[in-house]
Structure 1
Amino acid sequence: MRILVISDTHGSLSHTEKALESAGSFDEIWHLGDVLYHGPRNPLPEGYSPKELASLLKRHRVKYIRGNCDADVDVRVLEVPEMPRIGMEFLGDVKMLLVHGDQFEYGGGDPVSLAQVHRCNVVLFGHTHIPMAERCGGVLLLNPGSVSLPKSETGPTFGIIDTDEEKFYLCSLEGKVLKEVILIERE
């Protein structure tokens, strides 16, 4: 199975379309928050069209995590039953925690501690708009960055989880693999 991992689209239809196209085939999308609204601290992203972005995403199987810019109206527009602040996914013996990441900024701990509390191998988060794929304290920390409002020299990015290969690929908006990591280190 291939999972497209995106975050912080902030209503950008054009950049999200490009990420979906560059990702190639995938079975589902995990969106780590800040889906439709650009937020009061961000500029309008290129291709800002939240209504059309919602229509595009409704054509796919999407698991959403609520970000700090997501509101109840977004849940209704996306026509999903819920948009939780935290999620858990199991891929074989890999236990993954999904959060937006703003809780780390506002005193909610850090990703490694949160992973340890929930006994997870991997933490997937967004919010910073800065891609990350590194191990810390025995936990794999993965941030796909932002497809619309990047805050690093890397530019717009997204992630792919390949469950057959048990790998995470960090990709540029054009689909170039920037980094790959194994999801779980086996002894």
Structure 2
Amino acid sequence: MKIGIISDTHGDYTSWEKAISYIYDADLILHAGDVLYHGPRNDIPPGYNPKKLIAAINDCKIPILISRGNCDASVDQMVLNVPIQSPYVFAMIENKRFLVQHGDHIGQDEMQDLIFRYKLDYFITGHTHIPVLKKHDDCIIVNPGSTSLSKRDDRINTISIIDDNGIYILDVDTGNKIIEIKN
């Protein structure tokens, strides 16, 4: 099983293509929201082309599950043939429990409550544009960062990948692993 985890694409088709180059053989993509619109507080990403990104997502052969982000609107759902789910996506994949939530309206206590209530193996969030990969008891907390508008000090755009070896955060420009948790 290979799962690509993406967040905060913000209409950047070029960064989507870079991300897909690492997960073209994935069984599933989990997207933590902010799909098409760059947002009023963000600069327009260099590869901003929401129409091409719409076509790429609609034509993607890999199943995609999307959690609604704070920059996702009803009009976005009108052009995407993939449902944008709200307030979160819950999925069972190979006996593992996944919850994907954008992260703009959740605090640490609520996150811990969701992890406990749903006995999660993976809690996936986005919003901050800063990647996180850490264990919390038996759950792995993942923020894949942003494919296009990184807020890391070094501005590296990132995604996350789960495969048979573990889970890691990947630099979409170089393919280098930044953070990793091995199985």
Matched ranges for 1:45-84 at <5 A: 45-60=45-60, 61-84=63-86
Give the TM-score taking structure 1 as reference length.
0.87
- Identity between Structure 1 and Structure 2 (%): 38
- Tell me the residue number matched to 1:125: 125
Indicate the RMSD between aligned Cα atoms, in angstroms: 1.9
Q: Is the 8 A contact 1:8 1:126 kept in 2?
A: yes
The one-character-per-residue Cα deviations of 1:129-153 (angstroms, maximum 9, x if unpaired) are: 0001011344321110001000113
1:98 equivalent in alignment to 2:100: yes
Structure 2 distance, partners of 1:70, 1:31, is 12
- Tell me the residue number matched to 1:178: 178
Structure 2 distance, partners of 1:108, 1:181, is 21
Secondary structure of the corresponding residue to residue 42 of structure 1: coil
Pick closer, same or farther for the CA change 1:120–1:166 going to 2, 3 Å: farther
Worse-matched range after superposition: 167-176 or 23-32: 23-32
Unaligned stretches of 5+ in structure 2? none
How far did residue 29 of structure 1 move?
Answer: 1.5
What amino acid is the match of 2:168? Answer: Y
What amino acid is the match of 2:181? Answer: V
Matched ranges for 1:12-161 at <5 A: 12-60=12-60, 61-104=63-106, 109-153=109-153, 155-161=156-162
Count of residue pairs brought into register by the alignment: 179
What amino acid is the match of 1:153? Answer: D
Q: Is the 8 A contact 1:103 1:109 kept in 2?
A: no
How far did residue 108 of structure 1 move?
Answer: 8.3
Structure 1 distance, partners of 2:144, 2:87, is 17
Pick closer, same or farther for the CA change 1:56–1:22 going to 2, 3 Å: same
- Tell me the residue number matched to 1:167: 166
Structure 1 distance, partners of 2:165, 2:43, is 36
Give the TM-score taking structure 2 as reference length.
0.89
1:10 equivalent in alignment to 2:31: no
Pick closer, same or farther for the CA change 1:108–1:73 going to 2, 3 Å: farther
Structure 2 distance, partners of 1:140, 1:22, is 21
What amino acid is the match of 1:156? Answer: N
